[in-house]
Structure 1
């Protein structure tokens, strides 16, 4: 299995787990049972499950108005978007940055 395929499968897995955690929490809320801590839901989003968290919010209508949870999740999503933009734009700016670093020494 290639490294890219492994990375994609891990990302899909963490997003499926995140969606599942949101579903579990929604179901527990309906039944008055033990809930998944918000910190755990946010942690799952932070380690790569933010798309799964946002999809779960929309499809399950869960934690859509809960503050500060909602804002914290959106900040995680924004951080991931910036990280992806930097990652995908690296071929454009990385050679220039490396050349500037080597020139400084």
Structure 2
């Protein structure tokens, strides 16, 4: 079960990172963007750390307060949650 948790955490955080990258590229080209609600959904289901890293690495959404403060706060809570769950799984 611990392997599944680690796999899920890696997958969902890589997805969050990729979504921030793709949205930044779309913003540069002026093409259709990924809706903010989709970015929040991936963050809420466990990908906040990846989305936060993507936000900082790609300088994307850093001027929006709800992203600038919301994603990192959610990321901290999720990392604590992952470790808490992992402590029960072995």
Normalised TM-score (structure 1):
0.70
8 Å contact kept, 1:45–1:73: yes
Quote the Cα distance in structure 1 between the aligned partners of 2:79 and 2:16.
18
Question: Which protein, 1 or 2, shows the higher relative CO under an 8 Å CA cutoff with sep ≥ 6?
Answer: 2
Counterpart of 1:100? none
Query: Matched residue pairs, number?
Result: 87
> 2:55 corresponds to which residue?
57
**How does the TM-score come out when normalised to structure 2?**
0.80
Matched position secondary structure for 1:68 = helix
Indicate the RMSD between aligned Cα atoms, in angstroms: 2.1
CA deviations over 1:55-102 (Å, ceiling 9, x no partner)? 1011111111113332332342343255357x27x88xxxxxxxxxxx
If you compute each CA radius of gyration, which structure gives the higher value, 1 or 2? 1
Matches of residues 61-76 of structure 1 in structure 2 within 5 Å? 61-76=59-74
Give the gaps of 5 or more residues in structure 1. 92-105
Between the aligned partners of 1:19 and 1:13, the Cα distance in structure 2 is: 10
